[in-house]
């Protein structure tokens, strides 16, 4: 076991998950590959979405992978940071919108 | 860090070619298979030329820029320049061959004092002439302002590097202010018709990654470049060539300095593509050095890997038959040409 929970080198070993369960692992990677192909959304747009999601789930592997991928796909620094702000706005908004729940509850409790 | 001098002028250890070749051969100790064994696996060793179609002449290492990734180690301090006599030998060699394209590179080829004479002669021979113009040279000095007209007069195809459509990444790689000057030069080229639909004057751009990673799809990048340059600056061009940085010279220095050498080599090797190996440019290109020596490509030239076997290795002894029979010299840097969609002076190869 490594000294830290996350090790950058583990990202390159992702494919090895199939060693312990080949069928499901393979299905996942096939599916993953298809998801990121050009479709109704371009591969570039998908990469920016992935970058935003990576920040939402705060996965260091995904942040590493999609920072690299968006740069390779020619995305600008501003586009990348805006994607992170989208994630932040949704995340922040998700907390804040619950303020309504709080207000409902408080209004119900108080005279 | 701003780069102002070539590795040579800094007396940098990587200015020594043996040292570069030493690092490349160390690749074996970091677990990278020799490129030749990889080629043997796919039945492509020895690698043979197909037919010589592109005659690439490096007319000198002098350049007005000192880009961080430059595989030539070019710069204002480099004095190696092709003489008129050597140019004449090139013309003599071309005479009577069916080689259709002459590709002029450098340094900044326009800084060679005999550059225009050479282009005029090639133009008289009705060759397709390609000039690898770094753009900023056009606005560097009054004497170069008329280059767009000169290119137009000889129907030269202009191929120019622009690693990105914003100043931040372009300047980080090519030097401060380069983006703004490149935009000015592109505007001048567009003004005489270069890159403008229907003009018949070709202006292609070269993209190379601003770091230790492989280029993504050429088509995707081209679409973005077209949109950004049109919307932002009213600039048009024909095609974008995506080129992989090869691990030699200043790019090798960058890789070693930033501790990225091993992972970059790994990325190149993992992306080895047999289809790209089929189309490597050395199969149809001959590279002539500033002093007349012959090489399989501009990269081998910079590593001083002269032609193998019995092939004549100086332009004065040019012999098409033995050139076509030679074995191409391969080394670990060749992984840069065979990665992903392949890479050549004309971009992707598959
Ligand atoms: S990459 Fe081209 S423009 Fe830049 S220093 Fe080298 S030769 Fe000059
Ligand atoms: S580096 Fe030169 S010799 Fe090697 S594959 Fe590329 S073009 Fe051919």
**Ligand at shortest distance from the CA of B343:** 2
> Among B70, B245, B302, which is best to mutate for testing ligand 1, by the most ligand atoms less than 8 A from CB?
B70
- Test B221 with A71 for CB contact under 8 angstroms: no
Q: CA-based angle B272:B274:B276, to the nearest 5?
A: 80
> Chain A within 8 Å of B263 (Cβ-Cβ)?
no
Residue B287 CA to ligand 2 centre (angstroms): 11
* Cβ(B261) – ligand 2 distance below 6 Å: no
pLDDT, tens only, B309-345? 888 999 999 999 999 999 999 999 999 999 999 999 9
Please report, for chain A, the start and end positions of each structural domain, with discontinuous segments joined by +.
Answer: 42-110
pLDDT of residue B30: 81
Nearest alpha carbon to residue B341 among B271, B256, B263: B271
CATH value of B13-337 in 3.20.20.70, 2.40.160.10, 3.50.50.60, 3.40.980.10:
3.20.20.70
Q: Is residue B28 scored above 80 in pLDDT?
A: no
For A9, nearest residue in chain B (alpha carbons): B263
Largest CA distance in chain A: 62
pLDDT for res A70 = 97
User: Which atom of ligand 1 is found nearest the CA of B106?
Assistant: 7
In this structure, which residue's CA is closest to atom 4 in ligand 1? B67
What is d(CA A62, CA A60) in angstroms, rounded to the nearest whole number? Answer: 5
Count of residues in chain A: 111
Characterise B309 by phi-psi region: left (phi > 0), alpha (psi -120 to 50), beta (else).
Answer: left
Cβ-in-10-Å burial (0-12, 13-18, 19+) of B288 comes to: buried
Q: Which of B168, B220, B221 faces A77 most closely, judged by CB atoms?
A: B168
pLDDT under 70 in chain A at which residues? 1-2
Segment B85-105, tens digit of pLDDT: 999 999 999 998 999 999 999
- Domain range annotation of chain B: 13-337
Give B173-184 pLDDT, tens digit per residue.
999 999 999 999
**pLDDT attached to residue A48:** 98
Q: Which of A74, A79, A80 to mutate against chain B (most B CBs within 10 Å)?
A: A74
**What was the pLDDT predicted at A9?**
87
Q: Do B220 and A77 touch (CB under 8 A)?
A: no
Per-residue pLDDT, A91: 96
Q: What is the pLDDT of residue B117?
A: 98
Angle between helices A43-56 and A60-72 (to 10 degrees): 150
Asked if B215 has any chain A CB less than 8 Å from its own CB, the reply is: yes
Mean pLDDT of B156-165: 97
Which residues surround ligand 1 with Cβ inside 6 Å?
A: B 63, 65-67, 70, 72, 74, 106-108, 134, 174
Cβ-based neighbour number of residue B56 at 10 Å: 21
Closest CA to B60 of B6, B3, B104: B104
- The answer to whether B303 and B236 are in contact (CB under 8 A) is no
How far is Cα B80 from Cα B112, in angstroms, rounded to an integer? Answer: 10
d(CA A71, CA A77) in angstroms, rounded, equals 8
Which is the closest atom of ligand 2 to the Cα of B297? 2
C-alpha B39 – ligand 2 centre gap (Å): 12
Angstrom distance (rounded) from CA B328 to CA B63: 29
Q: Does the reported pTM lie above 0.90?
A: yes
| Complex ipTM | 0.81
The answer on pLDDT for B2 being more than 80 is: no
User: To the nearest 10°, the Cα dihedral for A91, A92, A94, A95?
Assistant: 130
Confidence grade of residue B5 (pLDDT, cut at 50, 70, 90): very high
3-state secondary structure chain B: CCCCCCCCCCCCHHHCHHHHHHHHHHCCCCCCCCHHHHHHHCCCCCCCCCCCCEEEEECECECCCCCCCCCCCCECCCCCECCHHHHHHHHHHHCCCCCCEEEEECCCHHHCCCHHHHHHHHHHCCCEEEEECCCHHHHHCHHHCCHHHHHHHCCCEEEEECCCCCHHHHHHHHCCCHHHHHHHHHHHHHHCCCCCCCCCCCEEEEECCCCCCCCCCHHHHHHHHHHHHHHHHCCCCCCEEECCCCCCHHHHHHHHHCCCHHHHHHHHHHCECHHHHHCCHHHCEEEECCCCEEECCHHHHHCCCECCCCCCCEHHHCCHHHHHHCCCCCCHHHHHCCECCCCECCECCC
pLDDT-above-70 percentage for chain B:
100
How confident is the model over B217-230, as pLDDT tens digits?
999 999 999 999 99
In a 13 Å sphere around the CA of A71, the CA atoms on its Cβ side amount to 16
Query: Rounded to an integer, what distance in angstroms lies between the CA atom of residue B25 and that of residue B28?
Result: 6
State chain B's mean pLDDT as an integer. 96
Q: pLDDT confidence of B3, banded at 50, 70, 90?
A: confident
Closest CA to B307 of B121, B85, B108, B52: B52
Tell me the percentage of chain B whose pLDDT exceeds 90: 94
pLDDT tens digit sequence for A44-54 = 999 999 999 99
Confidence of residue B6 (pLDDT cuts 50, 70, 90): very high
Task: Name the closest-CA residue to atom 1, ligand 1.
Answer: B70
Residues in CB range of B237: below 8 A, 6 or more apart: B186, B194, B195, B203, B204, B205, B225, B226, B229
**pLDDT of B289 strictly over 60:** yes
Contact B163, B209 (CB under 8 A): yes
Q: Do A74 and B168 touch (CB under 8 A)?
A: no
* B321 closest CA partner among B44, B41, B51: B51
User: Nearest-CA neighbor of B65 among B11, B118, B119, B132?
Assistant: B132
Q: Is the dihedral of CA A19, A22, A26, A29 positive or negative?
A: negative
Q: What is the predicted pLDDT for the residue at B311? A: 84
Residue B181: per-residue pLDDT:
98
pLDDT at A1: 57
Please tell us whether the domain made up of A42-110 is placed in CATH 3.40.50.800.
no
Gyration radius of chain A's alpha carbons: 19
Q: How many whole angstroms from A31 Cα to the centroid of ligand 1?
A: 43
């Amino acid at each position: 076991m490594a000294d830290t929970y996350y090790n950058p080198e583990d990202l390159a070993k992702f494919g090895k998950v199939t060693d312990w369960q080949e069928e499901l692992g393979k299905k996942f990677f096939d599916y993953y590959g298809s998801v990121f192909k050009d479709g109704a959304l371009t591969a570039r747009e998908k990469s920016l979405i992935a970058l935003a999601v990576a920040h939402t789930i705060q996965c260091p592997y995904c942040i590493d992978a999609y920072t690299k991928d968006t740069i390779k796909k020619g995305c600008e620094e501003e586009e990348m940071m805006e994607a992170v702000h989208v994630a932040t706005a949704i995340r922040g908004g998700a907390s804040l919108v619950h303020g309504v729940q709080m207000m409902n509850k408080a209004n119900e409790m108080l005279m | 860090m701003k780069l102002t001098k070539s590795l040579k002028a800094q007396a940098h250890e990587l200015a020594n070619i043996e040292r570069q070749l030493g690092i490349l051969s160390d690749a074996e100790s970091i677990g990278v298979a020799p490129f030749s064994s990889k080629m043997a696996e796919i039945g492509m060793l020895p690698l043979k030329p197909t037919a010589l179609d592109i005659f690439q002449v490096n007319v000198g290492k002098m350049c007005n820029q000192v880009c961080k990734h430059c595989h030539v180690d070019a710069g204002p301090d480099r004095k190696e320049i092709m003489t008129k006599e050597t140019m004449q030998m090139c013309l003599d060699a071309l005479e009577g061959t069916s080689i259709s394209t002459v590709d002029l590179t450098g340094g900044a080829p326009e800084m060679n004092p005999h550059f225009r004479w050479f282009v005029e002669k090639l133009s008289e021979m009705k060759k397709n002439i390609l000039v690898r113009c770094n753009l900023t040279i056009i606005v560097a000095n009054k004497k170069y302002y008329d280059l767009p007209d000169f290119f137009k007069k000889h129907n030269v195809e202009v191929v120019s590097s622009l690693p990105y459509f914003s100043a931040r990444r372009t300047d980080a790689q090519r030097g401060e202010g380069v983006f703004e000057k490149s935009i000015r030069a592109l505007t001048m080229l567009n003004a005489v018709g270069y890159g403008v639909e229907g003009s018949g004057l070709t202006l292609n751009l070269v993209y190379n990654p601003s770091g230790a990673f492989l280029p993504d799809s050429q088509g995707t990048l081209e679409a973005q470049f077209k949109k950004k340059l049109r919307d932002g600056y009213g600039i048009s061009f024909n095609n974008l060539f995506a080129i992989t940085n090869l691990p030699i010279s200043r790019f090798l220095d960058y890789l070693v300095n930033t501790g990225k050498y091993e992972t970059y080599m790994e990325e190149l090797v993992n992306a080895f593509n047999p289809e790209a190996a089929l189309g490597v440019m050395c199969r149809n290109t001959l590279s002539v050095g500033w002093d007349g020596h012959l090489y399989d490509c501009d990269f081998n030239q910079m590593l001083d890997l002269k032609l193998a076997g019995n092939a004549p290795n100086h332009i004065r002894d040019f012999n098409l038959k033995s050139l076509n029979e030679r074995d191409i010299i391969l080394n670990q840097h060749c992984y840069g040409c065979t990665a992903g969609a392949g890479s050549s002076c004309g971009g992707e190869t598959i």
